[in-house]
């Protein structure tokens, strides 16, 4: 990247890129890992994986069009 640029607008890299992104990603992974480890996950109302609507839509980030509904039961 040339010196006269402060960063890439699209990828948010460069000198003004986020200094906390690695920390943020690790915290999210830790939270998700805890949920998967401590709970059994099941689809509600007998739904099957094939029934899931995996279509996407745009917002600040790319996300699922419809929420993923999951029943959690504690196993630890």
Contacts with ligand HEM by CB under 6 A lie at 7, 12, 16-21, 23-25
The answer to whether residues 31 and 23 touch, using CB atoms and an 8 Å cutoff, is no
The answer to whether residues 7 and 13 touch, using CB atoms and an 8 Å cutoff, is yes
Helical segments of 1-75, H only: 21-38
- Nearest distance, CB of residue 72 and ligand HEM, angstroms: 23
- Nearest distance, CB of residue 46 and ligand HEM, angstroms: 35
- 16 vs 63, beta carbon nearer ligand HEM: 16
- 8 vs 41, beta carbon nearer ligand HEM: 8
The answer to whether residues 64 and 56 touch, using CB atoms and an 8 Å cutoff, is yes
- 22 vs 45, beta carbon nearer ligand HEM: 22
């Amino acid at each position: 990247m040339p010196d006269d640029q402060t960063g890439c607008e699209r990828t948010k890299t460069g000198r003004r890129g986020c200094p906390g992104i690695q920390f943020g990603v690790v915290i999210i992974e830790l939270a998700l890992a805890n949920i998967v480890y401590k709970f059994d996950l099941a689809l509600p109302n007998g739904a099957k994986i094939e029934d899931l609507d995996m279509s996407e839509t745009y917002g600040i980030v790319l996300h699922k069009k419809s929420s993923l509904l999951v029943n959690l039961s504690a196993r630890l």
